[in-house]
Structure 1
Amino acid sequence: MEESKSIDNLKLAVPSVSVRYASNGSSTRANEFGMRPMQERAFEKRGEQYLLIKSPPASGKSRALMFIALDKLANQGVKQAIIVVPERSIGSSFHDEALSKHGFWADWHVEPKWNLCDAPGNDNGGKVNALGAFLESRDKVLVCTHATFRFAVDRFGLEAFDERLIAVDEFHHVSANPDNKLGIHLGGFMSRDRVHIVAMTGSYFRGDAEAVLAPQDEGKFESVTYTYYEQLNGYQYLKQLDIGYFFYSDSYADDILKVLNPAEKTIIHIPNVNSRESTKDKIKEVEHIIEELGAWQGTDPATGFQLVKTPEGRILRIADLVDDDSAKRDRVSAALKDSSQKNNRDHVDIIIALGMAKEGFDWIWCEHALTVGYRSSLTEIVQIIGRATRDAPGKIRARFSNLIAEPAAADDIVTEAVNDTLKAIAASLLMEQVLAPRFEFKPKNPQNGPSPGFDYGEGGFDPSKCNVGFNEDSGKFQIEIKGLATPKSEEATRICQEDLNEVIAAFVQDRTTIERGLFDEEMVPEELTQVRMGKIIKDKFPQLDAEDQEAVRQHAVAALSLTQKAKEVAA
């Protein structure tokens, strides 16, 4: 990892991240059943009643679910599968797939009338009636939105879903908060214990630091974790991911070309109209960006894309998803989803969006995700970065840039500006952690021996010293540490192996942590890592005893410190 440089006179806002990967092709290779490594790992746990799949965008979670659901329907006594997605556009991820073509024993099929994401109308009313009709039918698979599912559970009750699989995509939308209806329903299903649940997410932590599930429910899930490092290290083409946060002053559209390279395939997310970065006129903002890029040449009649001629004479094809005219916007959106153009790099050059083109949006050619204005949710940032981390021929580098309005001393909302900057620092720290290899820490013990699959460097494993091993297949480092506390319970062991990033996410979202960390010269101040981290772990895992809480704290601090030290050495 290395420090990113500022661009022209834009000021670097916070520490930025640059990560290079080996591109060994392993994460895109399929086995004899057509499963990529993440899907194979998930399928091995197909017999679990409650399964949580934590895996980055573009790693193939949708198809992993298809394999698991087909097995549950055929071999595990499950009557029907209900796939629940946060928004209608993501329903297209569950259209028919000829899985048998690649070696699996069945194909994935959803009767068109049961993909309620493709149906017109709102999430209540007719769609809830349709879900009720599906429950009475002999058909096997239905796809609907989180909202439709919530309304249906309210109307039909928990028992109507007995002996069925409920698969929740983008699971981070769920919360243990009593106001979160989907979270309440899932808690009810688990208390009743008559359904199977598969939960999938690219970012298990929520952006608002709420717990996703109550601890007693979370403990019932078997986890399958596939890390960003495994995903990106195993790509065929993409070798580098850069993340940068930059301040601008005055109008962002004036400065945008200092960060935006028109030669790169780019998604621009303009600020929410309620944010301080917004001019409060989103249409004019889009026009301003287009004017900065070149001379408008008209609209492509087939797609609705804006055609813009750059000063160098190149014609850019720009998709405007901000337009208030729903007919125009729907036409552009349909052109972007055209499956016949999926592998056409020249179909579109730049997408300008506000609330769209985030989670579940698949454009493999995207090289740059450029977001204006701080997004309040760390989860949203992970999702936006995920738009640029697809592997595609000729795509060697991808980047995420966040333009944040510079706090001015005279600014009457300077507090909000400082808050945004603190949150950006939290996001940067968290992304460093998410993109790093996984660490497995072991207490140094004379009885320790080498673990299969790990390379311990020249001379191999040495019982007399603290060893560091690396497993290239899993992207995991094994590190021996003298005096490290060992987790005693199964739950604490699982947290140390699988969930350290969730602990670190809570730590970096803690305001005291960031404020104290900024002004303390120690790399990770001791008081923060002992007192604040200790409190966060007690609050997050109250079911663990004091010894296990301390073991989790030590493992989390080791992971955070190692990543920061590696960055310092590489700078």
Structure 2
Amino acid sequence: MNREVKSVPSISVAYAHTGNSTKANELGMRPMQERAFDKRGEQYLLIKSPPASGKSRALMFVALDKLRNQGLKQAIVVVPEKSIGSSFNDEPLTKYGFWADWTVAPRWNLCNAPGADGGKVNALGAFLASSDKVLVCTHATFRFAVDKFGVEAFDNCLIAVDEFHHVSVHPDNKLGLHLGQFIGRDRVHIVAMTGSYFRGDADAVLSPEDEAKFDTVTYTYYEQLNGYEYLKELDIGYYFYSGSYADDILVVLDPAEKTIIHIPNVNSRESTKDKVREVEHIIEELGEWQGADPVTGFQLVKTTDGRVLKIADLVDDDPAKRDRVSAALKDPAQKNNRDHVDIIIALGMAKEGFDWIWCEHALTVGYRSSLTEIVQIIGRATRDAPGKTRTRFTNLIAEPDASEQAVTEAVNDTLKAIAASLLMEQVLAPRFSFTPKNAGSGPVEGFDYGEKGYDPEQCNVGFDRQNGKFQIEIKGLVEPKSKEAARICNEDLNEVIASFVQDKNTIERGLFDRELVPEELTQLRMGKIIKDKYPDLDAEDQEAVRQHAVAALNLTQKAKEIALSSTDTATAGNTAFIQGVRQFAMDVRELDIDMIDRINPFGEAYSILAKTMSEESLKQVAAIITARRVNLSLEDARELAKRALAFKQERGRLPSITSADAWEKRMAEGVAFLARKTKEAAQQ
């Protein structure tokens, strides 16, 4: 059955493919690894870097230095699951210029050891008593070992935690609890590594006081993708389907592309509850089954044009079949063979740490509840490989249907998809560095200010192409005072934005409230999120973080809008977004924080949503959200009253409830609401 492959409305980001991120220095280190090695002397080091950027090898360099030159006794590498342990197999680093090789004795790679965790815990105890240097184990084995031997048994060791976003401050998270104990005792070194530091839930990864002890190495998606040799474009799209996804999957699946398909969890709304039949249906749609390869276990399927596709089925529960397929996918001899496999179908596998450089399309059915999981899945498709110039992530989501009982869940998934797309736009863009525009402002070394150079009379936008960083002057911007606030503005804006766009009330108001005053989102909602996230910052620093986060989110949206309307990004390399930022700044002449607060960051998301959903479904989403909209809360009224006080200090009068300015009117409504509530309370 032939189907037309549809174009999915998507975020499309183009890069310059300079080759910088894949070039090694004289010690065999790529740029991210060199950046981490420069901080090898730190006791607590956090490496935030995308999938495929070389975090495993960065750890090897740092660990070897700590063992040889910093007096540490042993290094323990902790990974979330056994399959990721292979990332820390022996590496002949001296071959590329380093002064030592990375070796793990077979008995100390507990990810390869048979048996249950009990025996592995005893093995870890034996390792601690030995003179050997390196051990690799799972998070579970490590947790049990700490329970059994106590934190003091690990004194003078390096503990390296891979996929650090599995840690959380939640009291039920044992790994987070143990790490807090290690930091409290202060007798170990910790290297934490993650490709996506924001979790999908509401819990922080570390407590603020523990996080402040870590020195951070940040390597962005932009730096990595811009520095690739081959890959120059990434598309991220959401496709809403009706009926069964199995009937629509071939609409967005191109059999000519190397693809990983993640089918939905059997308990999810999108699942037909028969995962084996779903795989069979996909195979039937692709062509005529020719049997299974006896060596690899791959399913062989002949397409209508005569090609034979090799399909790896990781969904089948038969251990013998799945283990054979999994082993064939990991075969190191086939790593650089593009023709080894064509399509991988998985359910819970082939995500975190899975390395298939040829993947051109990550196709995921059903919205994933965790933004971290989405980033991990996108990471499967963003490896650099010869001849691979474009790659994409597509998420198939069930369109809300008024007749469905699960319509509220469908609406929720829709809102979360918007949140993910907004966040990924931010993650994939260059980093922003904001500075106040004042009389003493001047050009910063390393930044290009465009053809006319730096203009002392205007707000300027500079771009550092080498490090993928914007320097933007904004009038009236509050600067962070404390070291922690400055760190948040420099390193953690994406985590702040993640919290903002995951807030359901924020997305609902931003998308469907036509009477919304943008400042209500950018000042009230963002302000509340920052207060909750960073309660130890004083009010001025909280306001500085809020302004930086809103500016980053809004500038990304405006720049993308301008770039898409004026430039063909596919032919313009990575310049379209940069020119979009510059053009926006030039159009308004003076960038000020009031103007940035007045942009609704969800406006563009609404237009994408409108393109991908039917009008009826869009109305259904709006109706459900409107039906549960709440009036002004006491908390929001208090915040509006504070903003009104600041307004009075600036302008010498209180906001007017009859003002033509919607934000001034909203502040006045907040003051009136609070006055009424206060009066009612006094009369009771």
Task: Check if 1:558 corresponds to 2:543.
Answer: no
Q: Decide which of 503, 506, 515 is 2:499's aligned counterpart.
A: 506
Verify: 1:87 aligned to 2:81, yes or no: yes
* Aligned counterpart in structure 2 of residue 390 of structure 1, from 378, 383, 386: 383
State the alpha-carbon separation in 1 of the partners of residues 47 and 221 from structure 2. 13
Counterpart in the other structure of 1:449: 442
Q: Could you give the per-residue CA deviations for residues 235-267 of structure 1, whole angstroms, max 9, x where no partner exists?
A: 010010001101111121111111000000000
Partner of 1:223: 216
Conserved 8 A contact 1:10-1:247: no
Query: How big is each residue's C-alpha offset from its partner over 1:325-359, in whole Å with a ceiling of 9 and x where there is no partner?
Result: 01110000000000000000000000000000001
Cα distance in 2 for residues equivalent to 1:230 and 1:11: 28
* Residue aligning to 1:212: 205
Question: Is the CA contact (8 Å cut-off) linking 2:246 and 2:282 kept in structure 1?
Answer: yes
Q: What secondary structure sits across from 2:454 in the alignment?
A: coil
Q: Map 1:119-138 onto structure 2 (within 5 A).
A: 119-122=113-116, 124-138=117-131
Q: How does 1:291-310 map to 2 (within 5 A)?
A: 291-310=284-303
Are 1:569 and 2:562 counterparts?
A: yes
CA distance in 1, matches of 2:6, 2:419: 21
The separation in 1 between residues aligned to 2:205 and 2:263, in whole angstroms, is 28
Which residue of 2 is the match for residue 107 of structure 1? 101
Q: SS of the residue aligned with 1:166?
A: strand
Provide closer, same or farther for how the CA distance between residues 343 and 524 of structure 1 changes in structure 2, counting only shifts above 3 A: farther
What one-letter code is carried by the residue in structure 1 that aligns with 2:283?
I
Q: Does 1:265 align with 2:252?
A: no
Match for residue 64 of structure 2 among 70, 81, 89: 70
1:118 aligns with 2:128: no
Matched, 1:43 2:37: yes
Give the aligned partner of residue 23 of structure 1: 17
Instruction: State how far apart, in whole Å, the 2-side matches of 1:488 and 1:403 are.
Output: 44
Of structures 1 and 2, the larger Rg is shown by 2
Residue 209 to residue 8, structure 1, CA distance change in 2 (3 Å): farther
RMSD: 1.4
2: distance between equivalents of 1:483 and 1:182? 43
Q: CA deviation at 1:16?
A: 3.0
One of 225, 231, 235 as aligned partner of 1:232: 225
Q: Whole-Å Cα distance in 2 between the matches of residues 459 and 421 of structure 1?
A: 44
Q: Which residue of 1 aligns with 2:242?
A: 249
Aligned partner of 1:365 among 358, 377, 387: 358
Q: In 2 relative to 1, CA 522–486 (structure 1 residues): closer, same or farther, beyond 3 Å?
A: farther
Q: Residues 242 and 438 from structure 1, CA distance in 2 versus in 1: closer, same or farther, beyond 3 angstroms?
A: same
- Between Structure 1 and Structure 2, how many residues are aligned? 562
Question: 2:580: which partner in 1?
Answer: none
Aligned-residue offset at 1:450: 1.7
Cα distance, 1:408 vs structure 2: 1.1
Distance 1:248 1:39, change over 3 A: same
Which one-letter code corresponds to 2:201 in the other structure? D
Aligned residue number for residue 432 of structure 1: 425
Tell me, in whole angstroms, the C-alpha distance in 2 between the residues paired with 1:463 and 1:197.
45
Query: 1:171-190 residue pairs with structure 2 within 5 A?
Result: 171-190=164-183
- The aligned counterpart of 1:144 is 137
Matched to 1:297, the amino acid is: Q
CA distance in 2, matches of 1:421, 1:458: 42
- In the alignment, structure 1 residue 356 sits paired with structure 2 residue 349: yes
Structure-2 residue corresponding to 1:32: 26
**Partner letter of residue 147 of structure 1?**
A
Deviations 1:71-98 (A, max 9, x none): 0001111110000000000000000001
Which residue, out of 475, 480, 496, partners 2:468? 475
Deviation track 1:423-460 (CA, whole Å, cap 9, x = no partner) reads 11111111011001101101112222222211111232
* CA–CA distance in structure 2, aligned partners of residues 415 and 559 of structure 1: 31
Runs of 4+ in 1 over 6 A off after TM superposition: 7-12
**1:524 and 1:427, CA in 2 relative to 1: closer, same or farther beyond 3 A?**
farther
Shift of 1:524: 8.8
Contact 1:16 1:244 (8 Å CA) reproduced: yes
Unaligned runs of 5+ in 1: 1-6
Distance in structure 2 (CA, Å) of the matches to 1:88 and 1:374: 26
Structure 1 residue 165: deviation in Å?
0.5
Q: Which amino acid aligns with 1:173?
A: H
CA distance in 2, matches of 1:125, 1:9: 51
Report if the CA contact (8 A) 1:496-1:552 is conserved.
yes
Please tell me whether the aligned partners of residues 459 and 473 of structure 2 are also in contact (alpha carbons under 8 angstroms): yes
Alpha-carbon separation, structure 1, partners of 2:413 and 2:44: 37
Instruction: Give SS of 1:149's match.
Output: helix
When residues 172 and 538 of structure 1 are mapped into structure 2, their CA distance, relative to the original with a 3 A threshold, is same
Q: Decide which of 55, 58, 62 is 1:61's aligned counterpart.
A: 55
1:83 match: secondary structure:
strand
Residue 321 of structure 2 corresponds to: 328
2:88, 2:295 → 1: CA distance?
26
The secondary structure found in structure 2 opposite 1:125 is helix
Using the size of structure 1 for normalisation, the TM-score is: 0.97
Q: How far apart are the structure 1 equivalents of 2:293 and 2:179?
A: 46
Q: Is the 8 A contact 1:11 1:246 kept in 2?
A: no
Deviation at 1:195, TM superposition (A): 0.6
Q: Deviations over 1:117-143 (max 9, x none)?
A: 111223x21010000100100000000
Residues 10 and 248 in structure 1, CA contact (< 8 A), matched pair in contact too: no
Give the CA deviation at 1:526: 1.3
Correspondent of 1:484 among 477, 480, 492: 477
Aligned-pair CA distance for 1:11: 10
Question: Which aligned pairs between 1:308-319 and structure 2 lie closer than 5 A?
Answer: 308-319=301-312
Identify the residue that residue 3 of structure 1 maps to in structure 2. none
Q: CA deviation at 1:522?
A: 8.8
Matches of 2:131 and 2:36 in 1, distance apart? 27
Contact 1:295 1:308 in 2 (8 A): yes
Deviation at 1:9, TM superposition (A): 9.8
Shift of residue 521 of structure 1? 5.1
Task: Trace 1:399-414 onto structure 2 (pairs within 5 A).
Answer: 399-414=392-407
Q: Would you say the 8 A contact 2:5–2:254 is kept in 1?
A: no
Report how far residue 462 of structure 1 moved: 2.1
Counterparts of 2:325 and 2:95 in 1: how far apart (Å)? 32
Q: Distance in 2 between matches of 1:233 and 1:152?
A: 42
2:507 and 2:102 mapped to 1: Cα distance? 47
**Separation in 2 of the partners of 1:9 and 1:164?**
54
Paired residues of 2:509 and 2:516 also in contact (CA < 8 A): no
Secondary structure at 2:472's aligned position in 1? Answer: strand
Letter in structure 2 aligned against 1:391: D
Change in 2 beyond 3 A, CA 1:184/1:420: same
**Contact 2:108–2:135 (Cα < 8 Å) also in 1:** yes
Task: Give me the whole-angstrom Cα distance separating, in 1, the residues matched to 2:205 and 2:549.
Answer: 19
- Partners in 1 of 2:5 and 2:146 — Cα distance? 54
The match for 1:526 among 508, 519, 543 is 519
Amino acid in structure 2 at the alignment position of 1:85: V
In 1, the alpha carbon distance for the partners of 2:418 and 2:517 equals 14
Residue 122 of structure 2 aligns to a residue whose secondary structure is: helix
Does the 8 Å CA contact 2:7/2:252 hold for their aligned counterparts? no
Contact 2:356/2:380 (<8 A) preserved: yes
- Report SS of the residue matched to 1:454: coil
